[in-house]
Amino acid sequence: MPQHIKRLIGVFAVFILFFLVLQQVLKPDSFGELGHFRAKAIYENSLRPMHYTVADSCTKCHKDIRIDKDLGFHIKLKCEVCHGPALAHSLYAGNFKDKELPDSLTLYKPGERKDCAICHELNAARIKIQFDTLNTTMVHQIDVLTHHPFDPKTKVPFKCIECHNPHQP
Amino acid sequence: MEDHIQNLYEVLSKVEGYVYPNEIELNWSILIVLYPYITGLVAGAFILASLERIFKIRILKPTYGIALLTAFSFMLVATMPLVSHLGKPLRAYEIMITPHSSSAMAIFGFVYLWYLMVVLFLEIWFDYRRDMVIWANESTGIKRFLYKALSLWTTDISPKAVALDDKIGYIVTVIGVPSAFLLHGYVGFIFGSIKANPWWSTVLMPVIFLFSAMVSGIALVMLVYIVLSKIRKQLLDMDCLDTIAKYLFYILLIDFALEGLDQIHRIYVAEESFEALHKLVFGKLFYSLFIFQGLIGTIIPILTLGTLQFYKPKPQIRKVIYMILPLLVLMGIFFMRWNVVIGGQLFSKSFYGYTSFKTSMIGLEGYLMAAVWLIIPFLILAFLLWLLPPWKKIETNHD
Amino acid sequence: MNDETTKLSRRDFFKTGTVLAGGVALATASLIPYDGLLFASEAPGAKGKWYGIGIDINKCIGCGKCANACKIENNVPRDPFYFRSWVEQYTIKNDGAILVESPNGGIDGFKQAAPTADIYKSFFVPKMCNHCAKSPCTQVCPVGATFETEEGIVLVDEEYCIGCRYCVQACPYGCRYIHPEKGTVDKCTLCFHRLKKGLQPACFEICPTEARIFGDLNDPHSKINYFLKNHTCMVVKPHLNTGSKLFYNALSPEVR
């Protein structure tokens, strides 16, 4: 075999060898344990921070509201539906019972017409009354524009919550 | 980043009908148009070179070396548009480290390396080795070092060694033709295998990509040959150009027939997506599909080249035609890639609406970046032509 | 003699015919036929949990709380181009026109699309990752940065994704996007971090009408199995054979 062919094969062999070594070195450690992916990624995915909590953690402190709610149409609603994510709030309040709650952890208190309209505004797509074998769901639909828009005397716009207790509408 | 979001808000205001919210952003932009375009040029140029070598069409001799070097210089940058469009370019190596066997894209690294190193590099190396040994003795300085290094510090140019080189070079070319088919057919498969996208998902996609690749590669070599002869003040070999034009004509016809078949099939079966695609083709893609790709890039070249098969005007006129036609064809194929890549993302997979394409001038995914990746191969080609001028080679007959 | 051969050949024909037919029958039996509820009854080989999702379109009121909760829980960018979960409003008019909309994914609520008199029917469709069992997105990932877990959840490995966007193209449901800051792909994880703590995913937790149900398809007494048995369920784009595990009750054919 001529010399140049030998050298050429040598160069290619070095490249391929280098590549194979590199492949072993750079392959992440848990790769291929459970399939063609990093097994550790499953664990990493489970570590993401939470923001929403579970309903029980609210009613531990807010017992009065729970009683209110249980007697009304909103019995099935979880607090976070209207008030937003409450994990930090509930953790802080649960752990430091005697301390004042920092402003950043105060939850959103919806009260504007648009807040209620998001579920209750008249819309043909919104379910009317569903009589289902499993469940009966009904959402009141209100024409937000015409349903007592403002105080007839003072002309100040009404908020829904001025007449309806949101926890027991 | 801010610009990007700004762009998206502008696109959002132009959305027609309904698209899934995640579809407002076009994920594959101008750089992914370039990627099949450039690999296509490589495959096409190589196939032209192999016509001379394997199929012994001696009349193409003047373009053999140019075609090989053109293919090589475009191949060197073929991955760059891909890598620069990645969200995490520094992680690009992973595709070689842990290639996923079920992914059409994962094999790209290997197909690419095979084609670059085993086919193109080896063919050029065996073709030029004797000349490099001779040139190393004739030149000085850095050029001498380059030749020495490229010939791996060997000096064996005995007739026996040269004959062996020629034989191996031939074998490499024989392997190279199916490899070129693989490379570009495979690029078509990347698109053709996406069942979620009816504009892409057709079994003809790899074949269409292959033939359009050959068309564009041949046109490019034709252009490079003419320009190079002008720069070197050499006479053009009109017989060679006529032959190239003849092949360009045939392959263009096949390409046109295949694409026509694809569209006719699409129209005749008129599946769920038909109305949405119909509106897309006559709306947002009208100019790029019917005018640029169809009329200017395909019909006019076919008619002109077809006429030339029967009636040969004076060489002076043919020369002008051979200057202009490759440009039209190259533009047509560019818009073919555009229509596939961008067109395939303009309509919603819900078939209820259309988004629009907007990219900025600058930035990693802008037009300037795309222009850079189109210009760099020509700079590499200029360097390669300086280092390995095909016209200074000792005449060999590849027999 | 002639008769003999014809008889023989006819018998041969029947013989080969039977063998052939049997072979074809066997071969087709070994191919599992497509069944929308295939994975409701049994996961392929899995012993543990095998999650499925049920959405009752009849119960959805289009409040968009799920889309909002998803964005908050998973730190999804607030711009209206990035959603792991969103709600669509379909309006089919009397003249047959179909209007679909999802302004900001439904987070800010919906307006009725046409005057009531013109509407033939109208409904909301919450969309999210289908966690397909034969997911086209994990199939195409070139590096193995997205995968299905044993529980049937499609996850993304953020540390390994190269951002090539091939999976975004491959998802027929438009459920993936490229995170503008991270440069990697992002999608619904069925709130994997909550599941592992024994909690429900945020969108299920928050749904005011309990239109969303999820559970273990391997457990015959799970909520999801109860839901599937008692409703006529369908997946979106069944012809694509993605093995979708997001089952809709009362899904209209207009939904794509």
C20-48 pLDDT, tens digit each: 454 444 444 444 444 445 444 455 555 68
pLDDT tens figures, B164-184: 998 999 999 899 888 888 888
Tell whether C164 is covered by a domain. yes
DSSP state of A49: P
What's this model's pTM, rounded to 2 decimal places?
Answer: 0.89
Q: Give the confidence band of C210 by pLDDT, cuts at 50, 70, 90.
A: confident
pLDDT of C102 above 70: yes
Q: List, for residues A20-40, the tens digit of each pLDDT value.
A: 999 999 999 889 888 899 999
Q: What is the DSSP string of B156-204?
A: ---HHHHHHHHHHHHHHHHHHHHHHHHHHHHHHHHHHT-TT-TTT--TT
Query: Is pLDDT above 70 for C117?
Result: yes
- Considering the domain architecture, whether residues C76 and C154 belong to the same structural domain is answered as yes
CATH architecture of the domain formed by A37-108: Orthogonal Bundle (1.10)
Task: Answer yes or no: do C2 and C42 share one domain.
Answer: no
Whole domain around residue C21: which residue ranges? 1-31
Mean pLDDT value across chain C: 84
Average pLDDT, chain B: 90
A43: closest chain C residue by CA: C193
Interface test with C, best of B3, B10, B19, B22 (most C CBs within 10 A): B22
Mutate to test the interface with B, among A1, A3, A4, A37 (most CBs of B within 10 A): A4
Domain count for chain C: 2
**Residue with the larger pLDDT of the pair B72 and A103:** B72
Q: Point out the residue among B97, B101, B164 whose CB comes nearest to the CB of A2.
A: B164
Which among C98, C140, C144 has the least Cβ separation from residue B98? C144
Q: Is C241 helix (H, G, I), strand (E, B) or coil?
A: coil
Q: Which of B265-274, C44-53, C171-180 has the lowest average pLDDT?
A: C44-53
B353 shares contact with chain C (CB less than 8 Å): yes
Closest CA to C176 of C159, C161, C193: C161
At A60 the pLDDT is 85
3-state helix, strand, coil in chain C (%, to 5): 30, 20, 50
Is residue C11 pLDDT above 70, yes or no? no
Residues C191 and C143 in one domain: yes
- Answer yes or no: do B103 and C166 touch at CB < 8 A: yes
Region C83-94 average pLDDT: 95
* pLDDT attached to residue C45: 53
Closest CB from B91, B345, B348 relative to C162: B91
Half-sphere exposure of B333 (CA within 13 A, CB side): 32
The predicted structure's pLDDT at residue C27? 45
Token pair of A101 as six digits:
């709650």
Q: At residue C9, does pLDDT exceed 60?
A: no
Mean pLDDT within B336-347? 94
Distance from CA of A144 to the nearest CA of B (A): 27
The answer to whether B134 faces chain C, any CB pair under 8 Å, is no
Q: Which residues of A touch C230 (CB under 8 A)?
A: 133-134
Same domain, C65 and C168: yes
Q: Quick one: C103 and C24 in the same domain?
A: no
* Contacts B84 to C, Cβ<8 Å: none
**Residue C177 backbone zone (phi > 0: left; psi -120 to 50: alpha; other: beta):** beta
| Least confident residue range of A71-80, B29-38, C14-23 | C14-23
Chains that touch B (3 or more CB pairs under 8 A): A, C
* Contact status of C81 with chain B (Cβ, < 8 Å): yes
Q: What is the pLDDT of residue B6?
A: 87
Average pLDDT value for residue range A44-50: 92
Tell me the residue ranges of DSSP E strands in B225-370.
Answer: 353-354
Q: Do C174 and B100 touch (CB under 8 A)?
A: no
Q: Which residues of A touch B164 (CB under 8 A)?
A: 2, 5
Q: Integer distance in angstroms from the first to the last C-alpha of chain B?
A: 58
Please report whether residue C18 resides in a domain: yes
| Residues C179-206: tens digit of each pLDDT | 999 999 999 999 999 999 989 999 999 9
Chain A residue at shortest CA distance from B163: A2
- State whether C11 and C112 are in the same domain: no
The sign of the CA dihedral C231, C236, C237, C238 is negative
Domain boundaries, chain A: 37-108, 110-169
Give me the percent of chain B exceeding a pLDDT of 70: 97
The whole-angstrom separation of Cα A69 and Cα A79 is: 10
pLDDT-derived band at C3 (thresholds 50, 70, 90) equals very low
Are B104 and C182 an interchain contact pair (Cβ–Cβ within 8 Å)? no
Confirm whether C254 is domain-assigned: no
Which pLDDT belongs to residue B368?
87
Residues of B in contact with A26 (CB under 8 A): 93-94, 97
C59 in the same domain as C11: no
Least Cα distance to B93 among C147, A23, A38 occurs for A23
C180 shares its domain with C236: yes
Q: Is pLDDT of A73 > 50? A: yes
Predicted confidence (pLDDT) at residue A138 exceeds the cutoff of 80: no
Residue C15 and residue C132 in one domain = no
**What CATH number corresponds to the domain at position C87?**
3.30.70.20
First-to-final CA distance of chain A: 94
Is A7 close to B152, i.e. CB distance below 8 A? Answer: yes
Contact C169 B196 (CB under 8 A): yes
Q: Does the pLDDT value for residue C224 go beyond 60?
A: yes
What pLDDT is recorded for position B205? Answer: 94
For chain C, how many residues are written?
Answer: 256
Same domain, C9 and C76: no
Residue A77 has pLDDT above 90, yes or no: no
Q: Residue A18: what pLDDT?
A: 95
Question: Do C90 and C137 sit in the same domain of this protein?
Answer: yes
The mean pLDDT of B87-114, rounded to a whole number, is 90
Residue B248: band (very low, low, confident or very high) from pLDDT cuts 50, 70, 90? very high
Exposure string for C200-221, b = 16+ CB within 10 A, e = fewer: bbbbbbbbbbebbbbbbbbeee
| Closest CB to C100 among B24, B105, B352 | B352
